[in-house]
Structure 1
Amino acid sequence: MKSRFAYATLLLLALSLSVIGCKPDSASHIRQHSLKTQPSAERSESQKPILLILIDSLMDKSLQEAIRQGRAPALAYLIANGRYYPQVVSSFPTMSVTIDSTLLTGTYANQHHVPGLSWFSNKEKRMIYYGYGPKEGLKIDQPQVLLDILQQLNLVQLNPKTKTIHEELAEKGKDTASINGIIWRGKTAHTLQIPRLIEFSTRLPGEVNVNGPKLLSYAAFAQLDPNQKSEKRIWRKYGMNDEFSAQEINYLITNKKLPPLTITYFPENDMEVHMKGTATIEGVEKADKALQTVLDTFGSWDKAIKEARWIVMGDSAQSAVLDDRQAATIDLRSLLTDYQIAKISQPVTPTDQIVISTNERMAYIYALDPSIPLPDIVKRLQREPKLDIIARKEDKKIVVTAGKINRQFTYRPNGPYTDPYGQAWTFSGDPTLLDITINKNRITYGKYPDVLARLYGAMNSHEGRYVIVTVQPGHELITESSPTHIGGAAHGSLHEVDSLVPLLVTGTTTRPQTLRLVDMKDWLLRLTTE
């Protein structure tokens, strides 16, 4: 999402320092290999390793179209031999780093404390970036960004009191693997190797010590296959690509080193969607080709699903961005001209009153000046009709409004109203602001799935006084030098077009307790330990 490909871009810049079943139409869509292999003893389901593969920005519609055209035979094969759930609710903001934190910890941002791709640390008095656009890259401290991604994110900024699945399984004596993941904190000491040209171009040391799962692979910084070279070259984004990820899995399979759980990212579909829009299937096709090589490594596809359990899913969706820049972008600075807004090219100064941190289709707006009431910021933001959610905290309550709307909706956890996920809430005001309907104290969500918990999570994700805003589909939020995706696609918001992803499950008849990414961890723990 901007996410993992932004990370790859970051490396280049740092270097220079400048179910429900959908079935395939016919068997002809499924390419099955029958290589000669030695027979193996049948293992029970609980003994089979789990391969969890996340395809960045995978969406149901493009997946179905790729299958229909015969361009995703591996994914079609897994669906035909398993179960398919087209609408799993992601985290919020719908940006990779927050989503992956939710996946690995089983919590929303109020517990894992990773607010977004970019955010302002009140403790450190600085902006934190885990990725950036080319114009931003010319103004910010790139070595610090790289250090945040490689070390601070997992070891400091991800809440140390919230355990990842790697940590919990290690405590149970189970090994795990992470390949090209963003969040990978575990209990095994590793040393990441900084590529020499990056080391020479920055103040970074040649090595960075981290704690990860037993098997950790992260692009050029750490790899499992000692012979893998071509896919981690600079023009292959230092290994942040689908082929590198697939080759690392293949190494584990070939050498009989698959642990009980392997979490792998195929990152390249995200960039295709950002650039070409939601209708493109080229990234899905590319991911499928990488997946085919993994299935092939078992000797045959039938053998692959007999010997392992397969979970393939997206992390967030994307929504189309208008192709007219002026119509597509909302510059938040234009709504907050009464305040002194901090510049991204310099440290925050005592005279700065506001910091704006955009995450494509959502943003955090921080009030550094204690004399500025948050409702005053909200009033200025309400002048823009395209802002579909504007939220702030008031004591323990969340207060929600929208652009060009005078009504409010206020809520907090616990109370008489129960949502489809068993979460209880108290609220007052107009619930239609969040497209919520109530019938006999039962909540039904509309175009903002699981909105109460996801928004509450972001509003309590880190210290500071801030307002959260999201924008209607078709638009992006920008501030100084923000990256944009004009005529392409973007994500970040609470809207269903950014939030619903497909899930393919082969090799088990079970599923998460609810079809939400936040419930994936508990399900994986059950699959791995029962």
Structure 2
Amino acid sequence: MRKKEIWIGLSIFIMIMLIGCQHSKPKEQDLLRIHSANGEHTKKVIFLMADSLMVQAIDQGISQQELPAFKFLTEHGQYYKNLVSSFPTMSVTIDSSLMTGAYSDVHRVPGLTWYSADNKKVINYGTGPLEIIKQGVNPVLTDSLMDLNGSHLSKDVPTIYEDLARQGLKSGSINGLIYRGASNHKLVIPEWIQIPASLPKEIDVKGPDLLSLGSLSNPFQGIKDLPDGLLNRMGVQNDFAVEAVKYLVQSNKLPDFLFVYLPDLDRELHKKGPAGLAKVKELDQQLLSLLQTFGSPEKAVQEAVFIIAGDSGMTRILPNEQNPVIDLPALLGDTNILRPGEAVSEETEIVLAVNETMAYVYSLKADRSLRELANILKNDQRIDFISWREKEWNYALQGSTAKLIKFKAGGGLTDSYNQAWTVEQDEEVLDLSVDRAKHFLKYDLYPDVLKRLSSALRSHRGEFLVVTAKPGYELTGGNSPTHKGGGGHGSIRKMESLVPLIICGTDQKPDYLRMVDLKAYLLKLLAKETQRKQ
């Protein structure tokens, strides 16, 4: 491979590794139009999403007196240790659920990578440099910068930014992956990306009143000097985001609702695994600096509501010598599998879309059933379960044991989220505790698994399996990034699904502890502040 191609791939990876992620003209009008409709004396809501923040790290750091900001926030607010994320546990799908209040069967963003039967192409928002190079720079950037918010995220469900605009409230996003709103913005594409990627110089997008997306859309340029150069990951990093929020606080420009994405922790944990506090301590110092911008932490929570959440947990991937990577093409034998960068043809039998510890496996041939493929994959002891749908029924086949469960929405069993289900056969496959006398079921190893799995199976068109790996293992399609000896997520087990939620500055509580329910909570919280002002 030529050096130029490698440099292009690595450069693009720096930009989109957060969606991965991302020189623009000053957008001062953004700062002029975000002035809160409720005035300066109402509480604003600041939501900080810390990618891969985990409860274990917070608790350990607080017990060792090393996290003063987290200690203050948890002691002066609500601290929940079991917020249920979306599935797959990948940032684009999670943020889509947060911003729309719906799972993927409604918002239609199935994962970091997936196959579009309508367009006969693999959608990839930026999984890793090798896969990006193989897939093609232009398609990946088109998917992530133009289509994710422009067409893939369903227009049938409003985002929180669109809802707030209809209510006359102001909102902002700093480095958020999902930002569709009611205001017009332009993403300005640097020349070093335009030319190899065949992208236009400017891309028109719709976003909240304030849209800051690294250096592609930097409303602070020319006003506040923030770290947004190439060596600073083009502004898609914690320092840029926190300094941007501090500027809004100092200049009295906070919108009614501000979403802030903090990605740095995720990269570290992928490399070194979920243990360790170094990056969490850095995050804590950034949070403390933000709180002190108000004058003191005590004054900060008097003037604003702070919500800090992780988006997914992470599982330690075993080291190389313990064979942690499940090679799906090898398991499927001599099947004609679509390779990255190739076009789908009549000969294509299988398409793979790997999201670290989960994967979509698509069958393009009617003569090869999903059950047949599931029976092949189940023989690998490292696979947790394989799932598929047949009309209204959902099936899950346990790896190695071949035990089967089937379930569908509606019926006589109700879970803790007031969702009704019919469940048949081996309940232990999904670790369900079912009390048929009381018509109730509980989840343990797989939180909210019936709804989350069912939603993934209905998130997009096609005949496909959902495959998940056991703890310690991850999947590959051949060019997928792997994390041997590090950390991975994507799966539905609670280690990757349960995340911390800290709410400080209000006594109002969420009805349910699920990511998908936080939009309703935020809208209610903001409505309360509006009523209080009136």
Instruction: Report 1:481-496 matches (<5 A).
Output: 481-496=479-494
Instruction: Name the counterpart of 2:472.
Output: 474
Instruction: Report 1:33-432 matches (<5 A).
Output: 47-226=42-221, 227-324=223-320, 327-432=323-428
Aligned equivalents of 2:40 and 2:474: distance in 1? Answer: 45
Aligned equivalents of 1:45 and 1:248: distance in 2? Answer: 18
How far did 1:350 drift? 1.6
Determine if contact 1:45/1:508 at 8 Å carries over to the other structure: no
How far did 1:301 drift? 1.8
Instruction: Name the counterpart of 2:28.
Output: none
Deviation per residue, 1:71-93 (Å, 9 max, x gap): 32212211121111111110000
Aligned equivalents of 2:55 and 2:458: distance in 1? Answer: 31
SS at match of 2:409: strand
Aligned equivalents of 1:289 and 1:340: distance in 2? Answer: 51
How far did 1:6 drift? 6.0
Question: For residues 235 and 378 of structure 1, do their structure 2 counterparts lie closer, same or farther at Cα, with a shift above 3 Å needed?
Answer: same
Determine if contact 2:20/2:126 at 8 Å carries over to the other structure: no
One-letter amino acid of the counterpart of residue 257, structure 1: K
Aligned equivalents of 1:325 and 1:337: distance in 2? Answer: 23
How far did 1:326 drift? 5.3
Determine if contact 1:46/1:528 at 8 Å carries over to the other structure: no
Instruction: Name the counterpart of 1:451.
Output: 449
> Quick one: which of 452, 458, 461 aligns to 1:460?
458
Q: Which runs of 5+ in 2 are unaligned?
A: 1-11, 23-37, 529-534
> Quick one: which of 492, 499, 502 aligns to 1:501?
499
Determine if contact 1:7/1:131 at 8 Å carries over to the other structure: no
Q: Which runs of 4+ in 1 moved over 6 A?
A: 11-15, 43-46
Aligned equivalents of 2:495 and 2:257: distance in 1? Answer: 30
SS at match of 2:48: strand
Structure-2-length-normalised TM-score: 0.90
Q: Which runs of 5+ in 1 are unaligned?
A: 16-42
SS at match of 2:433: strand
Question: For residues 282 and 11 of structure 1, do their structure 2 counterparts lie closer, same or farther at Cα, with a shift above 3 Å needed?
Answer: closer
Aligned equivalents of 1:6 and 1:460: distance in 2? Answer: 30
Question: For residues 485 and 205 of structure 1, do their structure 2 counterparts lie closer, same or farther at Cα, with a shift above 3 Å needed?
Answer: same
Aligned equivalents of 2:520 and 2:143: distance in 1? Answer: 28
Determine if contact 1:13/1:137 at 8 Å carries over to the other structure: no
Deviation per residue, 1:19-64 (Å, 9 max, x gap): xxxxxxxxxxxxxxxxxxxxxxxx9999310011011100000112
Instruction: Name the counterpart of 1:32.
Output: none
Determine if contact 2:45/2:306 at 8 Å carries over to the other structure: yes
Deviation per residue, 1:252-280 (Å, 9 max, x gap): 11221111110101110001111111112
How far did 1:133 drift? 1.6
SS at match of 2:323: helix
Determine if contact 1:14/1:142 at 8 Å carries over to the other structure: no
Aligned equivalents of 1:158 and 1:13: distance in 2? Answer: 16
Stretch moving more, 370-379 or 164-173? 370-379
The total of aligned residue pairs comes to 499
Determine if contact 1:363/1:469 at 8 Å carries over to the other structure: yes
How far did 1:202 drift? 2.5
Determine if contact 1:223/1:248 at 8 Å carries over to the other structure: no
Question: For residues 184 and 13 of structure 1, do their structure 2 counterparts lie closer, same or farther at Cα, with a shift above 3 Å needed?
Answer: closer
Determine if contact 2:226/2:243 at 8 Å carries over to the other structure: no
Instruction: Name the counterpart of 1:25.
Output: none
Aligned equivalents of 2:239 and 2:65: distance in 1? Answer: 20
Deviation per residue, 1:145-174 (Å, 9 max, x gap): 122212210110001101111111111111
Deviation per residue, 1:400-432 (Å, 9 max, x gap): 111122321111101000011100001211111
Stretch moving more, 242-251 or 455-464? 242-251
Aligned equivalents of 2:226 and 2:45: distance in 1? Answer: 27
Deviation per residue, 1:212-271 (Å, 9 max, x gap): 001111101112322445511111110111000011111211221111110101110001
Aligned equivalents of 2:20 and 2:209: distance in 1? Answer: 30
Determine if contact 1:276/1:489 at 8 Å carries over to the other structure: yes
SS at match of 2:227: helix
How far did 1:144 drift? 2.0
Q: CA RMSD in A?
A: 2.1
How far did 1:321 drift? 0.5
Instruction: Name the counterpart of 2:15.
Output: 8
One-letter amino acid of the counterpart of residue 169, structure 2: K
Instruction: Name the counterpart of 1:21.
Output: none
Question: For residues 111 and 443 of structure 1, do their structure 2 counterparts lie closer, same or farther at Cα, with a shift above 3 Å needed?
Answer: same
SS at match of 2:386: strand
Structure-1-length-normalised TM-score: 0.91
How far did 1:373 drift? 1.1
